[in-house]
Amino acid sequence: MTVNDIPNDVKDLSLADEGQRRTEWAEQFMPVLRQIRERFAAERPLEGKRLSACLHVTTETANLAVTLQAGGADVALCASNPLSTQDDVAAHLVRDHGIKVFAVKGEDKESYYDHIRAALAHRPDVTMDDGADLVGALHMIALGRLDDLEGPVRPWVNAMSPDERSALLKAVIGSTEETTTGVIRLRAMAEQGVLQFPVIAVNDSQTKHLFDNRYGTGQSTVDGILRATNILLAGSTFVVAGYGWCGRGVAMRARGGGAEVIVTEVDPLRALEARMDGYRVMPMADAARVGDVFVTLTGNAEVIRLEHMRLMKDGAIIANSGHFNVELDLEDLAQAADGPRAARQFVDEWLLEGKRLYVLGEGRLINLAAAEGHPASVMDMSFANQALAAEHLVTGGSMLSKAVHRVPVEIDERVAELKLAALGVRIDSLTPAQQQYLASWDAGT
């Protein structure tokens, strides 16, 4: 088989050498995934299964895709965001591993959905999502909601018979979901009785969100803002919208860089936590007047609206690191302001009522648009969970109900143990007396 026989849509296959070098670099920091790959190669738990993944096409995802392939899966990969693809990595996966990749950095909406279509045309037994776009499209097809299908997916489905459409969905054993926003969407599907197969919420495992969302997003979001703007953090006023796992990480890293951090929240507990962690907490309408840099990480829509942008200072910088760019009301901004003018790469200048506002990365995940996403060391754990969750679906998915399931606790603990071992960290274990003490209720004071 030559590279020409592999269905793909990537920018330029001649970038593959660079993609290979960078993927090998990331692999060094992914010891847990490497161990899983070695076991998968020996045991082939995914043998003969077609797997379609909709993930950010990065060096870390390349290592996951190769691990799944080592386990016997026939892998197709499309992007989960139009701006997050690393074109050299996409080329490397096609040329050196024969993986079907459909992703080009900066692709328009039409191409984005054409690539989703290509991943579905792979007729997967297992899907892997980062934001639930694949699962969403599959269910639209099954429900006959063809008008809701985006772009090129619709004519492709229209050309199928009803039997072919339902076969597409029925073939799927289950799916895994990488991020908070995807889990929220999938839970809504399950609650509305729409979800037709089990989904494993990789995001909810401890070895994912405690580390990836907090430390990964924390570091890479600040990295993306700095790479896009080259601003000095020290002495700036940095507004973080949303004090969830991601927001905590960003706030922590911005403060570490010398910024004064303001948090905005809608949840009283999270707001209280932010206050006790030492941040100023206020509504966005107040923060808008004083912030130099704004970043949203809520998983919600319209968090920074035109009414807030009108209050901002000349030169304010606005970014989003939540899953979708709907956190910023960019449509209203485009209506009311002049622009955009490219001030720098990944920086659009808008002129709003005499003030310059700078929107980074078109409001898309700034850590992936302007930087390289999370460091490999933290994706090691997230993607170890993904690989083991895929194995769990293939070996035991038929026993799972059509709902959103947690990653089994044994997988979570195993990933933590492997990571600790890789970091050279040893811990104590319970003595028999301690085990007995913890299991008792009658030992007095």
Binding stretches for ligand NAI (CB under 6 A): 179-181, 209, 213, 217, 241-247, 264-267, 270, 297-300, 303, 321-323, 365, 367
Nearer to ligand NAI, 168 or 304 (CB): 304
- In the complex, what is the shortest distance from the CB of residue 311 to ligand NAI, in angstroms, rounded to a whole number? 16
First to last CA, the chain: 73
Rg of the chain taking only CA atoms, in angstroms: 23
The Cα 137–Cα 249 span in angstroms is 32
> Largest Cα–Cα distance in the chain?
74
- In the complex, what is the shortest distance from the CB of residue 261 to ligand NAI, in angstroms, rounded to a whole number? 14
Nearer to ligand NAI, 20 or 179 (CB): 179
- In the complex, what is the shortest distance from the CB of residue 215 to ligand NAI, in angstroms, rounded to a whole number? 11
Nearer to ligand NAI, 6 or 282 (CB): 282
The Cα 143–Cα 301 span in angstroms is 26
- In the complex, what is the shortest distance from the CB of residue 222 to ligand NAI, in angstroms, rounded to a whole number? 11
Q: What is the dihedral of CA 351, 356, 357, 361, to 10 degrees?
A: 80
Nearer to ligand NAI, 218 or 397 (CB): 218
Q: Token match 């999270």: residue? A: 270
Residue in the shown chain whose Cβ atom is closest to ligand NAI:
244
* CA–CA distances in Å: residue 302 to residues 196, 299, 324, 333: 30, 10, 11, 12
Nearer to ligand NAI, 206 or 300 (CB): 300
Nearer to ligand NAI, 168 or 202 (CB): 202
The H or E element containing residue 410 is helix 409-423
Q: Angle at CA 242, nearest 5°, toward 238 and 245?
A: 105
- In the complex, what is the shortest distance from the CB of residue 295 to ligand NAI, in angstroms, rounded to a whole number? 10
- In the complex, what is the shortest distance from the CB of residue 177 to ligand NAI, in angstroms, rounded to a whole number? 10
